[in-house]
Amino acid sequence: MIPKVQDPREEVLQAWFMDDSDEDQRLPHHREPKEFVSLDQLAELGVLSWRLDADNYETDEELKKIRTERGYSYTDFCEVCPEKLPNYEEKIKNFFEEHLHTDEEIRYCVAGSGYFDVRDRDERWIRVWVKKGGMIVLPAGIYHRFTLDTNNYIKAMRLFVGDPVWTPFNRPHDHLPARKEYVKSFVEKDGGNAINAAA
Ligand SMILES: CSCCC(=O)/C(O)=C/O
Ligand SMILES: [Fe+2]
């Protein structure tokens, strides 16, 4: 048997299908048995990911290249913890409401960790655990949410093309062009076996 070569990104990014329990959102919520999702499977949903050198993000050539190629002209930092984030409780609640954006959501974890949950084509939640060095792009129009994990801290670089727009559109917002485009991308890929919300 040929041993599976581990994807180096998996040291800082892991994904799995979630269970249905209402327990604390900061717990991992693995299914029993665990059902992992590869980063290549995530890419099929349009979720892109990289492992980068978070200790040297100011000079990192790989980050520079991604920014140039994808046009990410804007950056700032978002620290999520009660001491650093104004209106912490309200923001934490809002981050965990299922929503979409009309642009990509790009986050690069430079410290701490957190969970980005994304809906797959069959409406299952996939939990993406992003740790220091992990960078992800959620495509415009994908339903998702964010929560801290039990370490209760993340510092993320936020990137954007041009002037940033962070507006969340809570589900349902299926009529938005960004959503329709996202759903259409699956129709184009597999000739019709797309998300139910395509109508
Ligand atoms: C770690 S960045 C905070 C989460 C966020 O900005 C967002 O839009 C979640 O969907
Ligand atoms: Fe979001």
Residue 89: pLDDT band with limits 50, 70, 90: very high
The pLDDT value recorded for residue 197 is 46
Q: Which residues surround ligand 2, an ion (CB under 5 A)?
A: 105
Is 29 annotated as belonging to a binding site?
no
Q: pLDDT per residue over 17-38, tens digit each?
A: 999 999 999 999 999 999 999 9
Q: Is 134 in the pocket of ligand 1 (CB under 6 A)?
A: no
Give the mutation target among 76, 78, 93, 95 for probing the ligand 1 site: most ligand atoms within 8 A of CB.
95
Index of the ligand 1 atom closest to the CA of residue 80: 1
For residue 189, the model assigns a pLDDT of 75
Of residues 192 and 100, more confidence is placed in 100
Give pLDDT, residue 199: 40
3-state SS track over 123-149: CCEEEEEEECCEEEEECCCCCEEEEEC
Q: Is 136 in the pocket of ligand 1 (CB under 6 A)?
A: no
In short, whether 149's Cβ falls inside 6 Å of ligand 1 is: no
Distance of alpha carbon 192 from alpha carbon 11, whole angstroms? 35
pLDDT the model gives residue 198: 42
| Domain ranges across the chain | 8-186
Q: Does 175 belong to an annotated binding site? A: no
How many other CB atoms sit within 10 Å of the CB of residue 64?
Answer: 11
- Cβ 51 vs Cβ 134: under 8 Å: yes
Query: What whole-number distance in Å separates Cα of residue 94 and Cα of residue 82?
Result: 15
Q: Please provide the CATH number assigned to the domain covering 8-186.
A: 2.60.120.10
